[in-house]
Amino acid sequence: KSGFVTIIGRPNVGKSTLMNHLIGQKIAIMSDKPQTTRNRIQTILTNDLGQIVFIDTPGIHVPMTKLGEFMNTSAETTLNEVDVVLWLIEPDKKIGKGDRYIIERLARVETPVFLVINKMDTIAKNELLEVIATYKDQYNFKDIIPISALKGDNTDILLDQIFDVL
């Protein structure tokens, strides 16, 4: 199995940590070679289940400028071109303005979206359940998966789920 995956999310939610963890123990090729003007290959993960090509997507922010608008349109195109979108968040029970904006954008995307709640090592289980409940009604996520990219908790489950839809 093989396919294209992109990870979106606010700065500091743990995107790089997750990427490093996923490719850490596995055979991977890092590439900076531009694929198209819009899509950039970040990393290729190869394991016994198959191959995942991670595509870099510009951050999606409430646009302040024409450039910001262009970046969002570009990001939206990427979201529609990949096979799986991972939306990485921190366990925060409040959905902020930026999150709401991302949800509005995702509504126009046909690609399956996994909500990945990172840093599960920082909160109690009952709080995690509240976060899941908060986000569940906001969008038709393919699934909601709590992980700790730092500790590697549930990251194998995340990979299995990704390969399941490829």
Residues found near Mg ion in the complex (CB under 5 A): 15-16
Q: Is 59 annotated as a binding residue?
A: yes
State the binding string over 85-104 for ligand GDP (x if CB under 6 A, else -).
--------------------
Shortest distance in whole angstroms from residue 78 CB to Mg ion: 17
CA atoms of 48 and 34, how far apart (whole Å): 27
The helix (run of H) or strand (run of E) holding residue 129 is: helix 125-136
Shortest distance in whole angstroms from residue 141 CB to ligand GDP: 19
Of 80, 44, 36, 73, nearest in space to 58 by CA: 73
CA atoms of 53 and 80, how far apart (whole Å): 15
Q: Which residues sit in the known binding site for GTP?
A: 9-16, 56-60, 118-121
Residues that bind ligand GDP (CB under 6 A): 9, 11-17, 118-119, 121-122, 148-150
